[in-house]
């Protein structure tokens, strides 16, 4: 029976992962196919380069949820009926969602690179607090280097190692804990395989810039421009005329 449940988890999470929010948002907001723009990759970083930081953040958050929520639900449900199997179910679901993002059947197996979905899995894990720390550090690295692959792959490396240490030290009493370690490293290998082109370009110093810092500057400049315009409009408003009516007083 447990094998059947895992088959259901793999199939359901794979098709959830196959839903590509970069394609959906690009079409809904701009009536365009993101795979024909920029690097042609239907992922968060290409959305950032082509459409800017707001829609990129929306894409990233949806990808986080797509990877993390199904994994967390699968882990909790399976652990309820089969105690101690949380991480195996959690990572099976997460890995299935990542595979769906990278190799979606509904898009002829041509998807994104799975980083945001993978990050969502880590951020919804019991080590979410550590994931937040590494995520902030990754954003700082991205701002300094402007290489998305460096920041994001570093995050995956850090969380993979941290999860492995946690499982080896604190989860060894759980059944099949070693399978969970294998699953997290398979996910790690899959992400790096999907980024093999980025790694080659990094080695040859030909990697594309993310334009993250420029996008942030544009965002804040727009906000400051709007504030200045609003203040100018308030200053230009004519003052209301005050009309004083004299009342006639009868002395009779």
Do you know the residue count of the chain?
252
| Residue 140, pLDDT above cutoff 70 | yes
**Of all residues in the chain, what percent carry a pLDDT higher than 90?**
65
71 in Cβ contact with 121 (< 8 Å): yes
pLDDT in tens, 10-60: 999 999 999 999 999 999 999 999 999 988 999 998 998 899 889 999 999
DSSP 79: H
Of 203 and 230, the structure prediction assigns the larger pLDDT to 203
- Tokens read off for 160: 């993979």
Q: Which residues, 6 or more positions from 95, have their beta carbon under 8 angstroms from its beta carbon?
A: 121, 183, 186, 187, 190
The reported pLDDT for the residue numbered 227 is 47
CB atoms within 10 A of CB 95: 24
Highest mean pLDDT among 9-23, 211-225, 236-250: 9-23
- Tokens read off for 31: 């009536």
Long-range contacts of 159-168 (CB under 8 A, 24+ apart): 159/122, 159/127, 159/130, 159/131, 159/134, 160/184, 160/185, 160/187, 160/188, 162/127, 162/130, 162/134, 163/122, 163/125, 163/127, 166/126, 166/127, 167/87
The reported pLDDT for the residue numbered 16 is 97
119 in Cβ contact with 38 (< 8 Å): no
The reported pLDDT for the residue numbered 172 is 78
30 in Cβ contact with 41 (< 8 Å): no
| Residue 239, pLDDT above cutoff 80 | no
- pTM of the shown model: 0.84
Q: How confident is the model over 91-98, as a mean pLDDT? A: 97
- Tokens read off for 203: 């080695």
- Sketch the domain layout of the chain as residue ranges: 2-227
- Tokens read off for 172: 């060894």
């Amino acid at each position: 029976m447990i094998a059947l449940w895992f088959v259901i988890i793999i199939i359901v999470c794979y098709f959830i992962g196959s839903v590509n929010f970069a394609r959906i948002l690009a079409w809904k907001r701009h009536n365009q196919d993101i795979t024909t723009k920029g690097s042609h990759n239907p992922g968060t970083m290409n959305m950032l380069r082509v459409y800017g930081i707001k829609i990129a953040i929306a894409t990233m958050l949806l990808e986080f949820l797509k990877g993390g929520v199904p994994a967390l639900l699968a882990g909790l449900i399976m652990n309820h009926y089969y105690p101690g199997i949380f991480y195996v179910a959690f990572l099976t679901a997460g890995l299935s969602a990542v595979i769906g993002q990278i190799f979606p059947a509904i898009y002829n197996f041509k998807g994104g690179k799975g980083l945001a979905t993978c990050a969502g899995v880590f951020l919804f894990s019991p080590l979410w607090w550590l994931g937040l720390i590494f995520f902030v550090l990754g954003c700082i690295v991205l701002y300094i280097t402007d290489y998305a692959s460096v920041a994001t792959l570093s995050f995956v490396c850090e969380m993979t190692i941290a999860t492995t240490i946690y499982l080896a030290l604190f989860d060894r009493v759980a059944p099949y804990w070693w399978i969970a370690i294998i699953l997290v490293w398979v996910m790690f290998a899959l992400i790096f395989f999907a980024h093999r082109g980025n790694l080659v370009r990094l080695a040859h110093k030909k990697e594309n810039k993310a334009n993250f810092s420029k996008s942030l500057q544009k965002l804040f400049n727009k906000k400051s421009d709007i504030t200045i315009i609003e203040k100018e409009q308030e200053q230009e408003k004519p003052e209301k005329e005050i009309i004083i009516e004299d009342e006639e007083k009868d002395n009779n």
